[in-house]
A = this chain, B = another copy of it.
Amino acid sequence: MPDRVSELHAELCKTLGSAIRIEILNALRGGEKTVGELSAALRVRQPNVSQHLAVLRQRGVVTTRKEGANIYYGVSNPKITQACELMKQVLVEQLKEGVELTRLTGPARR
Taking beta carbons and an 8 Å cutoff, which residues of A are in contact with B? 1-3, 5-23, 26, 42-44, 54, 57-58, 60, 64-66, 71, 77, 79-80, 82-84, 86-91, 93-95, 99, 102-103, 106-110
Please, how many angstroms separate the alpha-carbon atoms of A93 and B91 in the complex? 27
Q: Would B16 and A2 count as touching, CB distance under 8 A? A: no
CB contact between A58 and one of B54, B60, B90, B103 (< 8 Å): that residue:
B103
Q: Would A42 and B93 count as touching, CB distance under 8 A? A: no
Within the complex, the shortest CB–CB distance from A50 to chain B, in Å, comes to: 9
The 4 closest A-B pairs by CB, nearest first: A14-B17, A2-B19, A13-B16, A64-B108
Please, how many angstroms separate the alpha-carbon atoms of A20 and B107 in the complex? 19
